[in-house]
Structure 1
Amino acid sequence: MQKWLKLSTVVTTLAIAACSASPTGRNQLLLFSDNDMSSLGAQSFDQMKKDQKGSTDAKTNAYVQCVTQAITQHVPAQAGFKQWEVVVFDSEQVNAFALPGGKIGVYTGLLDVAVNQDQLATVIGHEIAHVLADHSNERLSQSQIANAGLQITNLALGSSEYSQYTGVTMAALGLGVQYGVLMPYGRTQESEADIVGLELMAKSGFDPNQSVDLWKNMAKASGGQQPPELLSTHPSHSTRIEDLKAKIQSLPNYNAKRPNCS
């Protein structure tokens, strides 16, 4: 019982000390430092570059770099890393990601759906927003607390079965490319990244109205085979589109120079 109380006190103290707020003002629990998250992101990215084929097409790389740089120059300096790194992966996946530490990956399959610079900027802005909002840190912190709570429960029950959960805990801490910072985000985080990313791409001179067209393209590309929203970690396409339309109406006129990425 004394051991249980001690562990419970540690978890409660950590939770109180690590309370933070996201860019939209949402309360977050962040247990890991910026340097820890940057190191984790860099390790995962290095492994991905070894495991996946990078695109050697100069024009494709220049295009993705152009859009990304137009956005990142409007991003404040980040703790834990000094510059953003972009890699284009040669894959039919319609996807992109950004990791703590300023690591951005774009799959060539995305360019068949994000058909212009504004639509590509929507995706890249969204992924960068995940980093700016510390969503990976939040996911890992939630997993850490959940697993600590599991340990507390087992100790209280006098169980010796906690060892079976060690692998889950290690995976949640990011020890493996398929886990950790690459765990899927929840609907709240996805919606937040949509809003923050939209502001970021508009501030960078891209057309925010193209974000709506992008998600219409995404809906077509999926062939309508999206599961019900309550069963998915992502908002439905229709919800996403309506939320973006509402946000576009409230965006200020940033008067930013329009990028010319082709």
Structure 2
Amino acid sequence: MDEVEVVVAHSERATLRVGEVFLKVDADRARMDAEVAAMSLAPVPTPAVLWCEPPVLALAALPGAPLGHLGGPSTGSRAGWAAAGATIRQLHDAPLPPRPGRAGRSAEELAVELDEECGLLVASGLLPADLVARNRRVAEAALRPWTPAFTHGDLQIAHVLVADDEVTGVIDWSEAGRGDALYDLATFTLGHEERLDDLLAGYGGDVDREAIRGWWSLRSLLVVRWLAGHGFDPFAPGCEVDVLRARM
């Protein structure tokens, strides 16, 4: 009998693996429905939906391995990173999905959330004031008008699978929808900033690198407290706090 592997688990959702099947447990029915809908619309390889009986979604495993992990070394080749960039471009150029995604908040909404979060980070003593202030200034570059694209919304490096320098699948679509394409690019290269050129070689076009750097700071500032409160360690080497320190 196959063992049950806990892939990720926190108070909002959990993912289990049993052999070649992933079971995603999510109490938010709307989020699960949105994930299934996004996978059906995305013009890139996605897991096959085996069945969906809320609160559980069963997905088939995909071949391949991530190019790396946040906090770990990048194991992918330059060609693999370029292939990932080309796949992300294909997604961003696709017809817009009907709903806004995680990357779809306006600059005004983000600025309010960011100011509040920065205040809480300093008041709680979780991060020093100078580190927060410096990254708050860097984050300004991400707070700009943008043209909506079909975004994944949680495009961590572990969510794109590659084999023989070809993308075999993109997983975890619960945050997908209309949004800022550069949010996806920044999320994918978070902690692996030195691979941005390789990614953009496949993505192509004229990309605002300052906005991507802004997103590295903005995204990290917004998630540090959440991660620390849900059993994750943003202070681990190469993770969010190190990303913030790199801006100093």
Say yes or no: TM over 0.5: no
Q: Which has the higher strand share?
A: 2
Greater relative contact order structure (CA < 8 Å, 6+ sep): 2
Point out the structure with max Rg over C-alpha: 1
Q: Report the TM-score when normalising by structure 2.
A: 0.31
Q: Which has the higher helix share?
A: 1
